[in-house]
Amino acid sequence: MAQSRNYQRANYALPAYNFRVDVGGVTMNFSDVSGINMEYETVTYRHGLSFSEGEILRKFYYDKYVPITLKRGTVVGANELYEWLKSKDLRHLDVSLCDEAGSAVVRWSIRKAVPVKLEAPTFDAATNEVAIESLEVSAAGISVEHLE
């Protein structure tokens, strides 16, 4: 027996191919986004008199910058990624996983993203594959938001 749409929506995973990327408020098309993960650096502090007074440990958690790779087809005149790399500025990045209607359901928000490497496509005369350029950004301040 067929299950209702609401049942399927609540119990089945969303397909990963339907996503949208906003870079600094501008929607850009990418074929692949990988490397999004949240990580923290910890620093433990022990004060100088811990040998006589006992240990008092303080831990500080800092966002760790992680590499995220964005890949997209090379298009004539679309040089936004190159311009961002040249400007070296921090931008806000949103990666939204969408449902079948194209509405965002889960959003990974990245508060600080700065490009560190733009890689040209592989040039091979023996194939007829699409030219894919790759941008690596260093990112921190990652959060996940479930919109429904």
* Domain boundaries, given as residue ranges, for the chain: 13-38+65-146
What is the gyration radius of the CA atoms in the chain, in angstroms? 21
Q: What are the φ and ψ backbone dihedral angles of 85, each rounded to 5 degrees?
A: -60, -40
* H helical segments located in 31-79: 50-53
CATH class in words for 13-38+65-146: mainly beta
Residue 7: what pLDDT?
A: 82
Whole-Å CA distances, 88 to 91, 120, 138, 141: 9, 18, 11, 18
Instruction: Say if residue 83's pLDDT is above 60.
Output: yes
Average pLDDT over residues 39-47: 76
Query: Looking at residues 3-15, what average pLDDT do you find?
Result: 79
Q: What is the dihedral of CA 17, 112, 109, 95, to 10 degrees?
A: -20
Whether residue 68 contacts residue 33, with contact meaning beta carbons closer than 8 Å, is answered with yes
CA distance 73 to 135: 11
- Residue 105's pLDDT band, with cuts at 50, 70 and 90, is very high
The sign one gets for the Cα dihedral 109, 113, 117, 121 is positive
| The predicted structure's pLDDT at residue 6 | 78
- Residue 15's pLDDT band, with cuts at 50, 70 and 90, is confident
Arithmetic mean of pLDDT, 37-57: 73
Across the chain, what does the average pLDDT equal?
A: 87
